[in-house]
A = this chain, B = another copy of it.
Amino acid sequence: MSRTGHIAVIGLGPGGAHQVTPEASAAVAAATWFYGYGPYVDRLELRPDQTKVASDNREEISRAQAALEKAAEGERVAVVSGGDPGVFAMAAAVCEAIEAGPAEWRDIEVTIVPGVTAMLAVAARAGAPLGHDFCAISLSDNLKPWETIEKRLNAAASAGFVIALYNPISKARPWQLGKAFELLAKILPVTTPVIFGRAAGRPDEKIVATPLGEADANQADMATCVIIGSAETRVIERGQQPALVYSPRFLKPGA
């Protein structure tokens, strides 16, 4: 029997230990080598026999390759992502690396462990803004042309989807979110609720709702998930209690 290794691509959820599934915790306990973006591997409390290999934010493919090389040696390897590993995260990078890599990498056992992705955690804090049809778009034009992003924003808003934006802004991509708001304001009412959700479920959580007409890209940073409502999305003011932002399940004929 050959020494077939194993790679688990694990979603650690939005940040708090209370949002890590037992399945993800068990997958962490079962692995020996851990690959991931620094802040994600830093969340792990590992045993002395477990080794962390942290890497930088934009090195997904080389990280996936390093993890697969280690798994091909017969080791039990974990690649960790924040949120869900299948949403703008490491699961696709590992698949890309396998497809382009040496034939023996196809023999590696692959397990992907889902997690609570950022938009779900942010939505839960705000109410139910993803209550009807919605989409998730990465605003990063490192991986696709900006024209494609504009086309998708236009299509989604025009067809009535709520839009969750991942990777909204970074030092290297300072103008894209402002441009997205500008474009969406031509399609959606200026009163459309926009939610800036940062660190949902963590001690430094910050969730802010604002009308699209007043949305300022500077309210976001790299760790923010931005949810833009549809024309149907509503705000319930509640006096003492925080407002609830929600998208009704119902859509009347003709709307």
Q: Verify A113–B124 contact, CB threshold 8 A.
A: yes
Grouping DSSP codes into helix (H, G, I), strand (E, B) and loop, the A interface class, with mixed when no group exceeds half, is mixed
Q: Verify B145–A251 contact, CB threshold 8 A.
A: yes
Q: A133 contacts the other chain (Cβ, under 8 Å)?
A: yes
Copies of this protein in the complex: 2
Q: Verify B155–A95 contact, CB threshold 8 A.
A: no
Closest to A94 in B: B128
Q: Verify A152–B133 contact, CB threshold 8 A.
A: yes
Within 1-46 of A, Cβ neighbours of B (below 8 Å) are at 11, 13-14, 16-23, 26
Within 124-145 of A, Cβ neighbours of B (below 8 Å) are at 124-125, 127-138, 143-145
Within 65-111 of A, Cβ neighbours of B (below 8 Å) are at 84-88, 91-96, 98-99, 106-110
Q: Verify A137–B133 contact, CB threshold 8 A.
A: yes
Residues of B within 8 A of A115 (CB): 116, 120
Residues of B within 8 A of A21 (CB): 13, 18-21, 116
Within 142-168 of A, Cβ neighbours of B (below 8 Å) are at 143-145, 148, 151-152, 154-156, 158-161
Q: Verify B135–A112 contact, CB threshold 8 A.
A: no
Residues of B within 8 A of A135 (CB): 133-136, 156, 161
Q: A172 contacts the other chain (Cβ, under 8 Å)?
A: no
Sample of 17 A–B contacts (CB below 8 Å): A21-B21, A60-B249, A86-B128, A91-B124, A95-B236, A95-B244, A96-B248, A96-B250, A106-B238, A107-B239, A113-B124, A114-B121, A116-B116, A117-B120, A134-B135, A135-B135, A155-B158
Interface residues of A (CB under 8 A from B): 11, 13-14, 16-23, 26, 60, 84-88, 91-96, 98-99, 106-110, 112-117, 120-121, 123-125, 127-138, 143-145, 148, 151-152, 154-156, 158-161, 201, 234, 236, 238-241, 244, 246-251, 253-255
Closest 8 CB pairs of A and B: A92-B131, A135-B135, A95-B246, A91-B128, A144-B251, A155-B159, A112-B124, A18-B23
